[in-house]
Amino acid sequence: MEDLLEIKTASVHTVPLDGTKLPLMEHFYTIQGEGYHTGKAAYFIRLGGCDVGCHWCDVKESWDANLHPLTDTDWIVQQAEQYPGKAVVVTGGEPLLYNLDYLTTELRKRGIETYIETSGAYPLSGLWDWVCLSPKKFKSPHPNVIPHAGELKVIVFNKSDFAWAEEHAAQVNPETRLFLQPEWSKRDQIMPLIVEYVKENPKWRISLQTHKYLNIP
Ligand SMILES: C[S@@+](CC[C@H](N)C(=O)[O-])C[C@H]1O[C@@H](n2cnc3c(N)ncnc32)[C@H](O)[C@@H]1O
Ligand SMILES: Nc1nc2[nH]cc(C(=O)O)c2c(=O)[nH]1
Ligand code: SF4
Ligand SMILES: [Mg+2]
């Protein structure tokens, strides 16, 4: 019994606040599938841990940070450096749970552009060339993230999400690019509504999860 308890206790991460270690779920070089940078080669860093609780989340395996090994940030940066595409997408889970200053500083020193996918549920850390803010009903975005959004990418699960998208569009900068992305499991029902909505409200663009159609990570 005691052994078990010890193992359980030892598996709970204490993530250093200086960002020199991060819980890494997976990392892969692929094509950005969504949003403004769709089609661009990028190295993805997926950090474990999220408490936002979107019922339709397509990476629920990321939620428990303790399942994902605490990894030296220097090692992560070394992996990113090996690829010809000089852009990194930091995602999760919710990457803003962690201090991303060290990770992004080290990436930038090596001439790598830094992009983040975030719900904005926690304050912004890190130096970013592009912030994709995808706000959620389940935990509102932190006010310090909103002005940094290069793009606002709202997931449309039902009709009421259009009005909700407009509420957030009213809060971002006038230059922030606006995207509506169908929730994957509802795409067949929702896509025709998004098409009609964008034709009537052309400040919005459609974002599709193109990597899922291409069968790539
Ligand atoms: C898995 S999340 C991780 C980053 C961050 N937690 C967030 O939600 O922005 C990456 C992107 O996938 C989107 N996403 C997650 N589940 C989805 C689904 N079922 N259909 C469409 N987009 C989804 C999120 O809104 C976000 O833009
Ligand atoms: N190819 C590809 N593009 C993506 N854009 C955002 C993703 C994410 O899960 O954050 C993602 C992803 O998982 N794969
Ligand atoms: S905030 Fe992102 S990672 Fe967290 S549950 Fe929602 S979609 Fe999934
Ligand atoms: Mg994804």
Cα–Cα dist 68/52, whole Å = 18
With respect to residue 156, please indicate whether it lies within any of the assigned structural domains.
yes
Q: Among 57, 136, 154, which residue has the most ligand 1 atoms within 8 Å of its CB, making it the best to mutate?
A: 57
With respect to residue 135, please indicate whether it lies within any of the assigned structural domains.
yes
CA of 174 to the centre of ligand 3 (A): 26
One digit per residue, the tens of pLDDT, for the chain of length 217 reads 444 433 343 457 899 999 999 999 999 999 999 999 999 999 999 999 999 999 999 999 999 999 999 999 999 999 999 999 999 999 999 999 999 999 999 999 999 999 999 999 999 999 999 999 999 999 999 999 999 999 999 999 999 999 999 999 999 999 999 999 999 999 999 999 999 999 999 999 999 999 999 999 9
Domain that holds residue 187: 17-214
With respect to residue 1, please indicate whether it lies within any of the assigned structural domains.
no
Phi, psi torsion values for 202, nearest 5 degrees: -70, 0
Domain count, the chain: 1
Ligand 1 in reach of 18 Cβ (< 6 A): no
Residues in the chain, total: 217
Ligand 1 in reach of 207 Cβ (< 6 A): no
- The domain spanning residue 174 has which CATH number? 3.20.20.70
With respect to residue 11, please indicate whether it lies within any of the assigned structural domains.
no
Question: 3-class SS at 89?
Answer: strand
